[in-house]
């Protein structure tokens, strides 16, 4: 069971992909989108969220694209998830907390929020470098990079 939305998984995958491939030149959104079977327009909005969060840096120009804004060992999975979760993308809620029952408001929501914080605390221990190393170990970044389907 995966607790993260596809958008968060895609954001983490995109940052790891950029961390591995952005040397010596930035990675174009179009190239990244093709590797992950996504429309470039959809991915571009996600990448811009990551730029605003200072996780990625956008490079303009004909050889432009995206690269890491910091060293990959200094970017955590939790930071990426927080960036895309807090980007006003909506989560299906209408914001009507007054409509919630006392059980939801006083028991269920606090319990889920506490568990979410514990989950994010654990993800603070996993860096982009850790994921790049794991991908290398599993041969994910071989000569013929496989295509990943993160259809949203």
Average pLDDT, the chain: 85
**Residue 136 contacts residue 98 (beta carbons within 8 Å):** no
- H or E segment at 41? helix 40-52
Domain count, the chain: 1
Extract the tokens encoding 128.
């982009």
Residue 107 lies in a domain: no
pLDDT tens digits for range 89-115: 444 444 555 677 889 989 999 999 999
Strands 65-68 and 56-59: antiparallel
DSSP-based three-state secondary structure for 49: helix
What backbone torsions phi and psi does residue 76 show, to the nearest 5 degrees?
Answer: -100, 160
Distance CA 110, CA 69 (A): 34
Query: What is the average pLDDT across 110-133?
Result: 94
DSSP string, 96-109: -GGGS-HHIIIIIH
Distance CA 17, CA 97 (A): 38
Residue 83 lies in a domain: yes
Distance CA 105, CA 128 (A): 35
Residue 110 lies in a domain: no
User: In CATH, what number is assigned to the domain containing residue 31?
Assistant: 1.10.10.10
Residue 76 lies in a domain: yes
Residue 55 lies in a domain: yes
Residue 117 lies in a domain: no
Residue 142 lies in a domain: no
pLDDT at residue 50 greater than cutoff 70: yes
For residue 20, give its domain range. 6-88+127-137
pLDDT tens digits for range 54-94: 999 999 988 899 999 999 999 999 999 999 997 544 444 44
> In a 10 Å sphere around its CB, with 0-12 CB exposed, 13-18 middle and 19+ buried, how is residue 61 labelled?
exposed
Tell me the CA end-to-end span of the chain in Å, nearest whole number.
17
The pLDDT > 70 percentage for the chain reads 84
């Amino acid at each position: 069971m995966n607790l993260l939305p596809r958008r968060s998984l895609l954001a983490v995958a995109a940052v790891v992909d950029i961390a591995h491939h952005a040397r010596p030149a930035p990675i174009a959104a179009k190239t990244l989108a093709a590797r992950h079977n996504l429309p470039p327009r959809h991915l571009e909005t996600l990448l811009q969220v990551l730029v605003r969060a200072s996780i990625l840096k956008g490079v303009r120009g004909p050889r432009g694209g995206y690269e890491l804004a910091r060293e990959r060992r200094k970017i955590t999975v939790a930071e990426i998830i927080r960036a895309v979760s807090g980007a006003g993308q909506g989560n299906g809620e209408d914001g009507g907390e007054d409509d919630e029952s006392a059980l939801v408001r006083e028991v269920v929501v606090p319990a889920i929020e506490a568990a979410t914080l514990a989950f994010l605390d654990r993800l603070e221990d996993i860096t982009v470098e850790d994921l790049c190393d794991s991908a290398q170990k599993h041969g994910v970044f071989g000569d013929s990079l496989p295509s990943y389907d993160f259809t949203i």
